Amino acid sequence: MKLHTLSLGALLMATTSLAAVSAATAQDQTPPAADANAAPAAEKEITEVVVRGKNVPKTMRRTAEVSAILTTEDLKRTGDDNAAAALTRVAGLSIVEGKFIYVRGLGERYSSALLNGAPLPSPEPLQRVVPLDLFPASLLGRVSVQKTYSAEFPGEFGGGVVDLQTLAIPRDSFLTFGVGTGYNTETTGKKTVTYFGSVTDWLGYDDGARSLPDALRTAMGKGKLINPNNYPSTGTGATKELQTIGQSFTNADLNLLQIGRPTPNFSTNLGLGDAYDVLGGRLGVVAVGDFSNNWSVKRGVHYEDDYENSANNVSWNGLLSLGYTHGGHTVKWTGMYIRKTTKFAATRDGYNSNGFFYRKDRTGWYQRELGLSQLTGNHALTSTLTLDWTASYAVTVRDTPYDKFINYQLDTSGGALNGLYFTDLRNGGGNETAFSNLKDTAKYLGANLTWDYSLGDGRDGKLMVGASTLDNQRDYQRRAFEFKSVNDSLAKYTRVDYLFSDYNIRPDFLQLWETGSDSPQAYKAGLIVQAYYIKTDVAVLPLVRVAAGVRFENGKERSDLSYLYQTNAKPDRASTVIKESYVLPSATATWNFKEDMQLRFGASKTIGRPQFRELAEPTFRESDSDRSFTGNPFLKDTELTNLDARYEWYYGAGEYLTAGLFHKTLDNPVETISTGTQLQQTFVNAPKAKIQGFEVDYKGLFESPMQGKFFDGKEWLVQANYTFTDSSVQVKTGDKIAFSRTTFQPVEASLYIKDGAKLQGQSDHLANLQFGWQDDEAKSQATLLLTYVSERISVRGSGIVGDPDIMQEPGTQVDFVYRKGFTTFGRDLNLQVEARNLGGTEYKEYQTVNSKRVYVDRYDPGTSVSVSLSTTF
């Protein structure tokens, strides 16, 4: 990492232009010699800044706000595969479900994810925010997290905003290639459940086995439920049509569970870049692509049931960036494609509510894709006036064909079939095959105008004005089917692929029924936000800097039930619309009271809008957890008041100690509650909540304290952070919540939410420790990483039936990353070895019943070791 020295004016430019995509930046950040074709200095990416001026005499943060930045070197040191994993190393951040970031205990709904400054749509049915595990580290040049709000960012801000910056445009040509493999103690080579699928599943694409059958597609377009009532068994051709639809379903390849042994994980990547002199300017090209295939297996306990599932995750990722710089003008286009598929198989057995021993098998294929086209510009109109703009179009798709389950029951009658599993398909609910599709689109256009000005006596400042518009639309549909038996045939004892064979699908045995009613599993949703802001960042006094602004935001969010069947008329409340306008002020003051120390004070007003799935009423079931979620059309926006204070000491290049306090008040925070059982949940607005705490962050670099061949030449790193967070939901007598469309009557909030309870998903303690060394001469680096997250509420229990909360216990994660560069056969190679979960920490979710723990979910994820080798040409 190199150190740059800029003027105060250049620093303020860098700290007040976060809403626009950064201009062309160098891959090697060492300042180049003067070149008429080189990009202006103000257009370079800044990783550390030394400022010469009256009010900031030494190293300081890159922004006027409380922020954390992970550079390319940080991502390499931790060795994390994707953005979500890398961000867990930042103070106050924790990861949930392996993909969603919680900032200071606030759920993902209170944080936003941007790509080069533009919002992204989500392929997840339960979220509007994009899951960060979609973004491999190989596509990222920098990841920043801003924890205090400033007006250039979207108003949906509670815990923070994550801005993912894609790879920079290179100044010199490069070509890199790498391969890797990995092993997990609980997965690789161990017997587990899986299914055949198709011969090309290992590539993340099937060979057509999961395509929607033509007969089914035609029937879906007729606007009526597919069942014997609409396709009666009498009449010419009617029986054959329904029978043909049922027989068109792919059978054995997707129904039959088998025993397999997962292969070692595998990955490969390729990157190239070059720069050219074109028409008096500089044209840069970067292209990056990678492929990975990995397995994960869970063998655990769910309540009293045993389960086992396997997931084969295959990813394809690609990025192409073109940038052109001429004089004070830069235009950059970024294209990105990300595809991740999961081939899922599971089996679970135990005793059902009737006391019978049962087994439930599942198979699934979950395909997520994100495509992005983004154009940005940076223009120095005059020596003091700069224009930045961004135009972005992104589409995400989640396609889930043949999401299947079948229930079995053990025959204990004592007869000839005693001890065999059988399926009872007479009354429904014994099997299901579902097809679902979600499409999210996001169109974004934003522009910022920045004017440099001076108050005299070296008190320079920036004035920014900007406007943006976001149009995010979602379309979701799910059609589910089951085969019902019209007689008690002995075929129900047969293997599942024989059971659903063409011979058995006929009017006198198995008939196809679509599960649904007048309110199908389909909805359309949208969010349109128009925003305007003004902000200034100025040294009001020689040692005091103030960044203050106000954002005006008009938002309209809607959710409409989609009625696919031509049956009864729509109900009165088929649509939900939330239309609000907000004035959101923000200010952060920085006082450099000592040469290398400063204090920051921040205050702001922000909001949190309900996510699409939280408003939509159709029930959605998570395959992995087997939990069902139903939206609430009565939800309202959450309003937040944020206060921050922070002490910062930068005592050396790349070394610092910071300590901060924070306090937040939330009006109408959204919480998830149980409705009857822990597996059935919905969303409500709690009356109010408060969150407060403190965080400490330290980074120190040391010369080796010991002598010897091993220690000589090594620089040692110690980096640690700790966050304590205390939160509470406030409920008083008379507070009401509403979530039932059938009754339209609010109920006492205290029946579902206990006064003083913690916010859902919030951990009291978060801690990270990194310890390691770097030897530039030996081209080696080693880092030991420890992460601790204390228990948090995973699912809030229902006060109606007296269920206790379900708690999650993340515990301590111990990782180790080693990198080594060496030369062989005249080629420079880089070796990286990663070891994850060295302590063997288990995943645990539990309830406390009669002072004893009952595990809702518990499994051992195992210890993973991966090795990769790369080279640069």
Largest CA distance in the chain: 98
Contact predicate 859/819, CB 8 Å: no
Of the pLDDT bands very low, low, confident and very high (cuts 50, 70, 90), residue 389 is very high
Q: How far is Cα of residue 554 from the mean position of the Cα atoms in its chain?
A: 26
Contact predicate 357/412, CB 8 Å: yes
For residue 18, tell me if it sits in a domain: yes
For residue 234, tell me if it sits in a domain: no
Q: What is the DSSP string of 625-663?
A: T--EEE--TT---EEEEEEEEEEEEEEETTEEEEEEEEE
For residue 300, tell me if it sits in a domain: yes
Of the pLDDT bands very low, low, confident and very high (cuts 50, 70, 90), residue 319 is confident
Domain that holds residue 167: 4-213+249-872
Q: What is the pLDDT of residues 555-607, one digit of tens each?
A: 999 998 887 776 655 555 568 899 999 999 999 999 989 888 999 999 999 99
For residue 231, tell me if it sits in a domain: no
Contact predicate 179/267, CB 8 Å: yes
Q: What is the pLDDT of residues 719-732, one digit of tens each?
A: 999 999 999 999 99
Calculate the average pLDDT of the chain.
83
Q: Which DSSP letter does residue 235 get?
A: S
Q: What are the φ/ψ torsions at residue 800 (nearest 5 degrees)?
A: -65, -45
Of the pLDDT bands very low, low, confident and very high (cuts 50, 70, 90), residue 77 is low
For residue 235, tell me if it sits in a domain: no
Site of tokens 């330290």: 698
Which contacts (CB < 8 Å, 24+ apart) does range 570-578 have? 571/519, 571/741, 573/633, 573/741, 576/615, 576/633, 576/634, 576/635, 578/609, 578/610, 578/635, 578/636, 578/637
Exposure string of 619-630, with b = 16+ CB inside 10 Å and e = fewer, is: ebbebbbbbebb
For residue 225, tell me if it sits in a domain: no
Query: pLDDT at position 51, please?
Result: 41
Q: Could you tell me the sign of the dihedral formed by the alpha carbons of 252, 254, 257, 261, in that order? A: positive
Q: Could you tell me the sign of the dihedral formed by the alpha carbons of 59, 65, 68, 70, in that order? A: negative
Determine whether 134 is exposed, middle or buried from the number of CB atoms within 10 Å of its CB (0-12, 13-18, 19+): buried
Q: Find the range with the poorest average confidence among 31-35, 79-83, 786-790.
A: 31-35
Query: pLDDT at position 778, please?
Result: 84
Strongest mean pLDDT among 163-172, 186-195, 450-459, 486-495: 186-195
Site of tokens 């998903």: 761
* Residue 163: CATH number of its domain: 2.40.170.20
For residue 239, tell me if it sits in a domain: no
Query: pLDDT at position 512, please?
Result: 93
The domain total for the chain is: 1
SS3 787: strand
Contact predicate 601/589, CB 8 Å: yes
Q: Which two tokens stand for residue 792?
A: 């948090």
**Is 60 exceeded by the pLDDT of residue 662?**
yes
Residues ≥6 apart with Cβ < 8 Å to 638: 110, 158, 607, 608, 609, 666, 667, 668, 669, 670, 685
Reported pTM: 0.85
631 vs 53 pLDDT, higher one: 631
Of the pLDDT bands very low, low, confident and very high (cuts 50, 70, 90), residue 81 is low
Q: Which two tokens stand for residue 682?
A: 């919905």
Q: How many CA atoms lie less than 13 Å away from 513 in the CB half-sphere?
A: 21
Q: State the alpha helices, DSSP H only, in 189-273.
A: 214-220, 238-247, 252-255
For residue 233, tell me if it sits in a domain: no
